Structure 1
Amino acid sequence: MTTGTGAGTTLVVGATGTTGSRVTAQLATAGHRVRAASRRGTPVPQAEPVRFDWYDPATHTDALTGVDRVYLVPPVGDPDPAAVMLPFLRQARAAGVNRAVLLSSSAVPEGGPAVGVVHRELPGLFDAWAVLRPSWFMQNFTGTHMHALGIRATGTIHTAAGKGRVGFVDAEDIAAVAVRALTDVRSPDSDLVLTGPQALSHDDIAAVVTEVTGRPVVHRHLTHEQQCDRLAPLVGREFGELLADMDLAIADGAEDRTTDVVQRLTGRPPHDFRTVLIRESAALG
């Protein structure tokens, strides 16, 4: 692909989150103008902060002023994000946005549950678009995800995924693909399944974390019902059941794959888990 001129302004929704912060930083470093949207309008280096709340339409107009492309992180934990996202996307189109890159998930196909509904509608709303469908984040084990919290608190990762393997992917690689999808002259106009270089089980992950950090970590195998009961107080029963269902899909092999998308769009191979863990191990204390 040919890199664009960067003449436009990109609105990054979720600019303080796991992928949004990295998309913002990489765009700004490359010289692109960025409007960094978050619920508090938090200042972000080399970007224009703006307050944005999916559930507060009064924040949407200002966020879209002067913008011609958007990076979209759906509202976290909402089982029906289309209800708030589609009205915003129609407003964005009317305001002059012509390119949209949506963060979805490898576990959610076009037309599937939750963000899958937004995925289905996106090509009809924008001339240039991409849907990023990354596998599970490597940062789930180093950041603020419940897996990382469990590692810090008890040295335990809890899943109902059994011995199923996942092509865990680095959020830096997701951001690098997003930047290309947002700024290349020719947009992907497709959905892109992003993975790391190898598929690993949660037992494998626990072993690598133990080796790299010196902190004993184990993977506790739960039943679907046990995982639902564990997640319900944390994220609500409906979303907890959805996450537990995704664990079962992993156990059945749904995520046991790797793709060449990171290499193809960025020109370099994706980062492996050990490399990312060494880079970010300080976050585990």
Structure 2
Amino acid sequence: MTATGTTLVIGATGTTGSRTAAQLTAAGHRVKAASRHASPVPGAEPVRFDWYDPGTHAAALDGVDRVYLIPPLGDSDPAAIMLPFLHQARSAGTRRAVLLSSSAIPEGGPAVGMVHQALPELFEQWAVLRPSWFMQNFTGTHTHALSIREDDTILTATGNGRVGFVDAEDIAAVAVHALTDEQAPNTDLVLTGPEALSYDDIATIITEVTGRPVVHHRLSYEQLRDRLTALMPTEFAAILAGMDRAIADGSEDRITDTVQRLTGRPARTFRSLLAAQT
């Protein structure tokens, strides 16, 4: 990697942002760690940033020549707030932008797909990371992790559908390369782990590694939608349940070599991630 200027990491306390900031600083790069409360991040300069408070944007962008973009969470139209910010970033001297999107959202698709479509017109150096579902969904405070801890169950409407689950550390490693390599990728990058697994497979691996008997309970699309509606707005519940239905239909049954190609090492397996945590 070549020496770089300063990278603004938005969402620097989140799942991929924290890991990206940590890997950048460990490699000797200067980082401004952006979060709503300017939370301390080891080795980085904390800066307050709120997508919905444009008054925080100029200071965050000051002295920055590249940016890692985490869209505002739960916003069905992130382009409305992100595109003005990106125009401001370009005017302030930012030359490279790396956007976190999703394997489920194509260029020009809904939500962050519109930001993806606009990025190449705004920056000569860019990349869009499109990871599959995170392995970390089964750890920490995520929904599947909570149901595993409370009921030894995983509830989905994915049927036999398989997913190329990816480790957030691998997403961050690709982000670091996309931000700091001499040549930017200038493309979108679909990121997966090394194997496509069904939720039955996931339950089996958790059981084998941890000794905790975990079962995948299969719900219908309607059952999952109704269950989620108790936790969130109806429209968002339908979207999430629809993503499970798409998995059941094979939408995520693929693996790519992107992690290996960009980082020079194999993507981590789910079994390896679990083993390291037990």
TM-score by length of 1: 0.96
Partner of 1:235: 232
Write the distance in 2 (CA, Å) between the matches of 1:90 and 1:53: 16
- Cα distance in 2 for partners of 1:35, 1:255 equals 34
Once residues 280 and 19 of structure 1 are traced to their aligned partners in structure 2, the CA distance between those partners, rounded to angstroms, is: 18
Pick aligned residue for 2:141 from 134, 139, 144: 144
Q: Which residue of 2 aligns with 1:59?
A: 56
Q: Closer, same or farther in 2 for the Cα pair 1:92/1:233, shift >3 Å? A: farther
Alpha-carbon distance between aligned partners in 1 of 2:82 and 2:235, rounded to the nearest angstrom? 20
Choose which of 104, 108, 112 in structure 2 pairs with 1:107.
104
Aligned counterpart, 1:253: 250
2:2 corresponds to: 4
Find the aligned partners of 1:280 and 1:74 in 2 and give their Cα distance.
29
Match in the other structure for 2:85 = 88
Q: How does 1:115-154 map to 2 (within 5 A)?
A: 115-154=112-151
- For residue 143 of structure 1, report the CA deviation from its aligned partner: 2.1
Quick one: distance in 2 between partners of 1:127 and 1:230? 44
Structure 1 position 154, deviation (Å): 1.1
Q: Deviations over 1:181-230 (max 9, x none)?
A: 00000000000000000000001001111111111211111111111111
Residue 22 (structure 2) aligned to one of 9, 21, 25: 25
| Count of residues in Structure 1 that have an aligned counterpart in Structure 2 | 278
Q: Which residue of 2 aligns with 1:170?
A: 167
Cα deviation 1:53-107 (Å, max 9, x = unaligned): 1111111111111101000111111111111111111111111111000000000
Question: Which whole-Å CA distance do the structure 2 matches of 1:197 and 1:11 have between them?
Answer: 30
Q: Is the 8 A contact 1:78 1:239 kept in 2?
A: no
Q: Distance in 1 between matches of 2:147 and 2:102?
A: 23
In structure 2, what is the equivalent of residue 75 of structure 1? 72
**1:110–1:119 contact (8 Å) kept in structure 2:** yes
Letter in structure 2 aligned against 1:227 = L
Q: Does 1:196 align with 2:193?
A: yes
TM, length-normalised to structure 2: 0.98
Residue pair 1:212, 1:274 contacting (<8 A) in 2 also: yes
| C-alpha distance in structure 1 between counterparts of 2:227 and 2:277, whole Å | 27
Unmatched runs of 5 consecutive residues or more in structure 2:
none
CA distance in 2, matches of 1:46, 1:33: 8
> Does the Cα contact within 8 Å between 1:27 and 1:179 map onto a contact in 2?
yes
Q: Within 1, Cα distance between the matches of 2:85 and 2:237?
A: 26
In the alignment, is residue 42 of structure 1 matched against residue 39 of structure 2? yes
RMSD of Structure 2 on Structure 1 (CA) = 0.9
Instruction: Please state whether the residue corresponding to 1:209 is helix, strand or coil.
Output: helix
Runs of 4+ in 1 over 3 A off after TM superposition: none
Partners of 2:213 and 2:164 lie apart in 1 by 23
| Structure 1 counterpart of 2:114, one-letter code | V
Q: Which moved more, 1:225-234 or 1:46-55?
A: 225-234
1:93-130 CA deviation, whole Å, 9 max, x = no partner? 11111100000000000011111111000100111000
Q: Distance in 2 between matches of 1:108 and 1:85?
A: 17
Structure 1 residue 233: Cα displacement: 2.9
What is aligned with 2:176? 179
Secondary structure at the counterpart of residue 188 of structure 2 = strand
Displacement of 1:153:
1.3
Letter in structure 1 aligned against 2:253 = D
The equivalent residue for 1:98 is 95
Q: Which amino acid aligns with 1:148?
A: A
Give the Cα–Cα distance (whole angstroms) in 2 for the partners of residues 86 and 4 of structure 1.
Answer: 29
Tell me the distance in 2 between the aligned counterparts of 1:118 and 1:132: 12
Opposite residue 13 of structure 2, the aligned amino acid is T
Of 270, 273, 277, the match for 1:276: 273
The SS at the match of 1:219 is: strand
**For 2:145, what is the secondary structure of its paired residue?**
helix
